[in-house]
Structures are given as structure tokens and as C-alpha cells.
Amino acid sequence: MINGPVLSVEEAAEQLRVSRWTLYKFIRSGQLKTFKAGRRRLVPVTAITELVDLLMEEAA
């Protein structure tokens, strides 16, 4: 369950059911938009939806 407009990297990986390593791969490739708040990297919930949509398009 999503608890807010942003998630930590760990929470985002859990939502997508992928490893942290895979999530960082999506970030490095530009497929997943994130931002930094201090030392923390945060993932907007909308970015997760966009990533899933992108991956579904690529799979089609």
C-alpha cells in the first residue's frame, strides 16, 4: 500500500517487487524519475506509475 506522494528507494523497490539494485538500474537509465532531499533519494508515486506504463509499452 502506498502511504504518500513519495517513497524511499526501499519502499519503491518493494512496491515494484524488484531489488534495490534493479530499481537503481531504472534510475540510472532515466526510466524512473527521482529527486534528492538532503541525502535521501525519493521516488514520486507518479514516477512509479509512469515506469510501469513505459515497461508495458516496451513489452507490447
Domain limits, the chain: 6-59
pLDDT in tens, 9-36: 999 999 999 999 999 999 999 999 999 9
Q: What is the dihedral of CA 9, 12, 17, 22, to 10 degrees?
A: -40
Q: Where does the chain have alpha helices with state H? A: 9-16, 20-28, 45-59
Q: What is the pLDDT of residue 3?
A: 59
Q: What is the pLDDT of residue 51?
A: 96
| Amino acid making up residue 14 | E
